[in-house]
């Protein structure tokens, strides 16, 4: 099953009672939205799991490579 970006949303059309479900998967999310969410969640405590999912998706798409920080020793 694909990785979710956020919870699925179900809407009910007025008058017809027809239900429509929208699924938010990582692979369907625009690159710009992923980068914005990554920058926003990197400062929020408790969003590490979403942050890692976004990192994995950006690496999977290519073009973005994350390099671990090296601690400076004096």
According to the model, what pLDDT value does residue 72 have?
Answer: 72
pLDDT tens by residue, 7-58: 999 999 999 989 999 999 999 999 999 989 988 887 788 888 999 999 999 9
The pTM of the full predicted model, rounded to 2 decimals, is: 0.76
| Nearest alpha carbon to residue 23 among 50, 1, 4 | 4
Where does the pLDDT of residue 74 fall: very low under 50, low under 70, confident under 90, or very high at 90 and above? low
Q: Is 14 exposed, middle or buried (0-12, 13-18, 19+ CB in 10 A)?
A: exposed
């Amino acid at each position: 099953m694909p990785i979710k970006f956020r919870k699925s949303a179900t809407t009910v059309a007025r008058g017809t009672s027809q239900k429509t479900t929208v699924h938010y998967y990582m692979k369907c999310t625009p690159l710009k939205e992923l980068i914005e969410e990554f920058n926003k969640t990197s400062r929020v405590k408790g969003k590490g799991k979403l942050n890692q999912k976004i990192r994995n998706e950006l690496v999977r798409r290519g073009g973005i490579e994350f390099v671990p920080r090296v601690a400076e020793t004096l």
